[in-house]
Structure 1
Amino acid sequence: MTHFVLVAGTWLGAWAWDEVAGELRAAGHDVHAVTLSGLAEKQERPAGQETHVQDIVDEVERLDLRDVVLVAHSYAGVPAGQAAERIGDRLARVVFVDAMVPVDGESALSGWPSEPVREAIAASGFWPPLTAPDYAGQDLTDEQIARIVNGSTPHPGATATEPAVLRGDLGELPATYIKCLRDGDEPMPVVAELLKSDRWELIEMDTGHWPMFSRPREMARILHESATGP
């Protein structure tokens, strides 16, 4: 049995993993989905980047989990990559799902055209959720899009603008990177560089950026295989 810790990306809470978590539990795994501070049922909590890192570390340590596969989607890759270093020998593997990865001294908004997001955060303090038309072309049904939009909450801006702090080389962590091809067929340059490490593997999914909604069974199968090995 593997202990999975699942962390969703911007605007989402633990609820986003419900279908994937059900599939993994049916396969005999222990699953803990984390809602980061400032989001979903925790939206009243103030949060910065370090808060989100600690949210993940605290979940692992509070439950005294070992043999952890830490799964991070999208934005959550930034705090999860930092948390993976801190949980040390509790970690079996980290899985980045079409995710950003932390770069020491850089924020989640670094390395891509994020000026509109920065402007929104400067104006309101939050990264506003997407609207339904923004999800077009991402392999989602109208029902799935409505579920995401209705469940989304504004994302605390400081978590996206504050820098990551890494203690070592992320390429030394045992890692899987899942690239969702309908959201671009090439990993971002910093990920491509990490994939040169013999400790990292690349898996491609023919779906959009939210595979926990569009392809939950396939997502769960890939996670199961990443935990159990060949």
Structure 2
Amino acid sequence: MATTTSSPTIILIAGHWLGAWAWDEVLEHLKSDHPRAIAMTLPGLDAHDPERATRTLDAQAEAILGVITQHGGQPAILVAHSGANAPVSLVMDRYPELVHRVVWVDSGPVATGSVFAPDLPEELEELPLPPFDVLAQQASLEGLSAEVLEQFRARAVPEPGPVLRQPIELTNDARRKVRTSLVCCSIPSAQVLELAQTGHPMFTEVAQLEHLDVVDLPTGHWPMWSSPRDLAKAIQSEASRNN
């Protein structure tokens, strides 16, 4: 078992509409080998925050920094799922020395200038979780039972409009030196790497990474629910890499 004095903190950060609760099953498996693993809820995704609809990507990035600081201020392992890629990319740009490794879960680093929803109307304060038939056209629901989908619907928090409309501004090439792992779920790693090499805008940053490892975990876009044990194993394996 890893010791609390030798292992970096693992910070699990879920994507749009989700809070720390989304990682509950993964944490159950992960903590037996890595007791310093924690999950956080990004600003704007706490249902009890009366100002949540006004939260920004900058606020989310600073919150991640705050969690790193609260847990000793030493370089941490950031595990970013889906839409958490935007604030985590900001953290890597602004504080690369505080990121020991980043593990992208069916996700990846964003490029400067990226906007998640550039056409989102300014008057729309937040974006609720869409109907599942609509969501399935954007991301794979493979492996999710009716019970899981019901919980997803019941606990999902609308995504703040400012988070979806804010352009990503990145200036520090040191972010590309951070050790990086891609856990590829809904798109196989071979296809991801091919898209990166051919300049696909979603994967352009992947081609610029200096230290990249890939692992395939074939399942849908929410592996924390469809394959929590295997995802925990993948995270633990990538967190243990020394390269």
TM-score > 0.5, shorter chain as reference: yes
Who is 1:193 aligned against? 204
Contact 1:9 1:74 survives alignment (8 Å): yes
2:160 pairs, out of 156, 159, 162, with 156
Structure 1 residues 25-34 or 4-13, which shifts more? Answer: 25-34
Q: Which amino acid aligns with 1:71?
A: V
Q: Is 2:21 aligned against 1:11?
A: no
Q: Which segments of 5 or more consecutive residues in structure 2 lack a partner in the other structure?
A: 1-6
2:90 aligned residue: 82
RMSD over equivalenced CA pairs, Å: 2.4
Partner of 1:228: 240
Q: Distance in 2 between matches of 1:69 and 1:168?
A: 19
User: Offset at 1:144?
Assistant: 1.1
Would the aligned equivalents of 2:13 and 2:41 in 1 still touch at CA under 8 Å?
yes
Higher helix share: 1
Mapping for residues 49-128 of structure 1, pairs under 5 Å: 49-99=57-107, 101-109=109-117, 115=119, 118-119=120-121, 122-128=122-128
Q: Do 1:5 and 1:71's aligned partners in 2 also have CA atoms closer than 8 Å?
A: yes
Q: Which moved more, 1:101-110 or 1:159-168?
A: 101-110
Whole-angstrom CA distance in 2 between matches of 1:12 and 1:205:
21
Amino acid at match of 1:218: D
Shift of the 229–101 alpha-carbon distance from structure 1 to 2, 3 Å rule, reads closer
Structure 2 counterparts to residues 39-58 of structure 1, below 5 A: 39-45=45-51, 46-58=54-66
**1:144 & 1:183 partners in 2: Cα distance?**
24
- One-letter amino acid of the structure 1 residue matched with residue 222 of structure 2: W
SS at match of 1:71: strand
Aligned to 2:3: none
Per-residue CA deviations over 1:70-91 (Å, capped at 9, x if unaligned) read: 0111111110111123333332
Q: Aligned-pair distance for 1:43? A: 3.9
Cα pair 1:37 1:55 within 8 Å, conserved = yes
What's the CA shift for 1:27?
A: 1.2
Structure-2 change in CA distance of 1:92 and 1:100 (3 Å)? closer
Q: Which amino acid aligns with 2:77?
A: V
1:49 Cα deviation from its structure 2 partner: 1.5
1:143 is paired with a residue of what secondary structure?
Answer: helix
State the match for 1:131 in structure 2: 131
- Over 3 Å counting, the alpha-carbon distance change for 1:199 and 1:27 in structure 2 is same
Would you say 1:218 and 2:230 are equivalent positions?
Answer: yes
Contact 2:57 2:166 in 1 (8 A): yes
TM (norm. structure 2) is: 0.81
Q: How many residues align?
A: 222
Q: What is the distance in 2 between the residues matched to 1:9 and 1:96? A: 11
Q: What is the letter of the counterpart of residue 155 of structure 2?
A: G
Matched to 1:141, the amino acid is: S
The CA deviation string for residues 83-112 of structure 1, in whole angstroms up to 9 with x for no partner, is 1233333321011111253322332336xx
* Distance of aligned partners of 1:23 and 1:2 in 2 relative to their CA distance in 1, 3 Å threshold: farther
Letter in 2 for 1:27: D
Aligned counterparts of 2:10 and 2:212: Cα–Cα separation in 1 = 18
Alpha-carbon distance between aligned partners in 1 of 2:101 and 2:189, rounded to the nearest angstrom: 25
Distance 1:129 1:87 in 2: 31
